[in-house]
């Protein structure tokens, strides 16, 4: 995080130095309009526009990721519930099999004694 702040400050310093050294007026033409504007304002405006556009893309990406996290959380809950149900079912089957084995063992012992 500190590296990011340092890079942002360095970039701001470079932009400030560029703007101070190139404070002259430039001619801007947009369709039929013509303007005389300071180059520093053009540079700062372009940077501000870039920040706004990147912020929008970042926000859209963040919303998509949050939606995916919600979806994966729901899927995890469903799978956890299914896993628990399968484990419970397996335990019941094992207990039933153990009871059946005990009954069969007792039955075979009775048959052997009975003979």
Strand partners, 33: 30
Tokens matching residue 46: 């372009």
Contact between 40 and 23 (Cβ < 8 Å): yes
Give the pLDDT of residue 63. 96
pTM for this entry: 0.56
Alpha helices in the chain (DSSP H): 2-21, 39-114
37 φψ region: left (φ > 0), alpha (ψ -120 to 50), beta (else): beta
Q: For residue range 45-90, what is the model confidence (pLDDT) as tens digits?
A: 888 999 899 999 999 999 999 999 999 999 999 999 999 999 999 9
Q: For residue range 2-51, what is the model confidence (pLDDT) as tens digits?
A: 888 899 889 888 888 887 887 788 888 888 888 898 888 888 888 899 98
Give the pLDDT of residue 28. 86
DSSP class of residue 24 equals: -
């Amino acid at each position: 995080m500190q590296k990011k702040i340092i890079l942002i400050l360095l970039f701001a310093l470079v932009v400030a130095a560029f703007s101070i050294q190139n404070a002259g007026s430039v001619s801007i033409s947009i369709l039929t309009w013509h303007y005389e504007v300071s180059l520093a304002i053009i540079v700062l405006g372009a940077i501000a526009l870039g920040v706004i556009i990147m912020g929008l893309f970042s926000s859209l990406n963040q919303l998509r990721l949050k939606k995916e996290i919600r979806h994966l959380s729901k899927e995890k809950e469903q799978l956890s519930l299914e896993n628990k149900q399968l484990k419970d079912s397996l335990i019941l089957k094992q207990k039933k099999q153990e009871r059946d084995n005990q009954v069969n063992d007792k039955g075979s012992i009775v048959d052997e004694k009975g003979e």
